[in-house]
Amino acid sequence: MAEFQKSASDTGSSGVQIALLTKRIEGLTAHLIKNKKDYATQRGLKKLLGQRSRLQNYLKKRDFNEYSKVMSGLGLRMK
């Protein structure tokens, strides 16, 4: 997260939000591997994936250089 912050107290920029969502998504994915029938968590995961996708689209339109930096830094595929 620190590599995407614009200042020390930056928690709201798109890159930071994408990094935080990615961390939460990884945690939920690990949980769902152990608990396959946890449908409430599956719903929450889908919600987070949609939110991250919207942020990625926004960042891609707004600042493509920042978008490519965030995506490569997190190891995510570019759309």
Helix (H) or strand (E) holding 35: none
Count of domains for the chain: 1
CA distance 10 to 46: 26
pLDDT in tens, 51-79: 999 999 999 999 999 999 999 999 999 97
**61 within some domain:** yes
Note the pLDDT of residue 79. Answer: 79
**48 within some domain:** yes
- Residues 6+ positions from 19 with CB-CB distance below 8 Å: 1, 4, 70, 73, 74
- Domain with residue 51: its CATH number is 1.10.287.10
pLDDT in tens, 30-50: 999 999 999 999 999 999 999
Note the pLDDT of residue 64. Answer: 97
Note the pLDDT of residue 19. Answer: 96
pTM over 0.85: yes
**26 within some domain:** yes
**22 within some domain:** yes
pLDDT grade, residue 22 (50/70/90)?
very high
Supply the DSSP symbol for 9.
T
Note the pLDDT of residue 4. Answer: 87
